[in-house]
Homo-oligomer: A and B are copies of this chain.
């Protein structure tokens, strides 16, 4: 690590002028200055000009910290994101950020790594008047107490992975139906041995997607083989590992449905390394439709989720809650779409018994 230094005299001594200095310079009271800024029509034109000149001259900028302190509104929303460095969440963040900005709110982004304590701590920002509300992207209520498990004690909305029976607004999609649709797609291609690479044990997402997978198998009269269920954690490497296990099975699956695209791409890597072809020998499907999926080899069949819309909707709901517009625990369900690409194809002949 090299380092070069320049000489520099950074003496920004934070000499911000106050409303009082403006008032003095303009020869008016602070109230008049404030009014000039807030309700110009309540100030006579001559005075207005004089005040404006003083403001320009001093380069006065109102101390918004003081404003927020006095008003009790921070115009800040906290986003609890399990992993910022995750492609899907990055899109959700984008949606949140834009929606917040367009309504004059700032987004305080927290990379919580899915840790309960960290999230509880972040939620305290609201307790301590540093933020107006919380957006939680994980199925955990950071405000939960012994008495109130599914109820938010402070303004909060929950998006993407939601808490069961939540008593606060939520935004999600029907993961069960989506997983069922994808599994049906695979079944329709003749697959009978369909593996699933799951997400973290504790995640409701995993439970719902698994349920959808089972729904489809049952509906098709297929049995559920536990050896085809593999644990993962939504990372590329866990997909790779899961595929390693699955390909080693005495009777290997002809299709692998991964609960997200990263794991699917990890699995694809392993499959190709083994010398098998996708989809001729084995089909692979993912979930999320991240940008890379369309460029994978072969392009990945997956479920598209409106990620940005998740963020946008969550922010709008939260602001509604803050403004007292949303009084109920609304549950918004966004649509999904099965995106069929080349990573899924007809089951190999010898697999049709």
Q: Is A323 an interface residue (CB 8 A)?
A: no
A3 touches B333 (CB 8 A): yes
The smallest beta-carbon distance between A80 and chain B, in angstroms, is 12
Q: Is A2 an interface residue (CB 8 A)?
A: yes
Q: Is A16 an interface residue (CB 8 A)?
A: yes
Contacts of A107 in B (CB 8 A): 108-109
Contacts of A321 in B (CB 8 A): 10
What is the total number of residues of chain A having a CB less than 8 Å from a CB of chain B?
79
> If A106-B108, A110-B97, A292-B292 touch, does A331 touch B85 (CB 8 Å cutoff)?
no
B129 touches A65 (CB 8 A): yes
A85 touches B74 (CB 8 A): no
Q: Is A91 an interface residue (CB 8 A)?
A: yes
Assembly CA distance A90 to B151 (angstroms): 32
Assembly CA distance A137 to B10 (angstroms): 20
Assembly CA distance A330 to B8 (angstroms): 10
Q: Is A249 an interface residue (CB 8 A)?
A: no
> If A109-B107, A328-B8 touch, does A266 touch B240 (CB 8 Å cutoff)?
no
B6 touches A128 (CB 8 A): no
Chain A 114-147, CB within 8 Å of chain B: the 1/0 string?
A: 0000000000110111100000000000000000
B68 touches A97 (CB 8 A): no
The smallest beta-carbon distance between A113 and chain B, in angstroms, is 9
The smallest beta-carbon distance between A92 and chain B, in angstroms, is 9
The smallest beta-carbon distance between A53 and chain B, in angstroms, is 19
Interface of A is mostly: mixed
Assembly CA distance A264 to B167 (angstroms): 46
- Stretch of A24-32, A152-160, A204-212, A224-232 that contacts chain B: A152-160
Contacts of A87 in B (CB 8 A): 85, 87, 90
A97 touches B109 (CB 8 A): yes
Q: Is A86 an interface residue (CB 8 A)?
A: yes
- Stretch of A36-44, A56-64, A187-195 that contacts chain B: A56-64
B128 touches A63 (CB 8 A): yes
B154 touches A12 (CB 8 A): yes
- Cross-chain pairs A/B with CB under 8 angstroms, 19 sampled: A1-B332, A4-B331, A6-B328, A8-B167, A10-B321, A12-B152, A12-B153, A16-B127, A64-B128, A65-B65, A65-B69, A66-B129, A68-B130, A85-B87, A94-B111, A98-B111, A101-B111, A106-B108, A268-B295
Task: Kindly list 5 other residue pairs between chains A and B, CB separation below 8 angstroms, not including A61-B124, A265-B292.
Answer: A5-B331, A63-B129, A65-B72, A69-B69, A97-B111
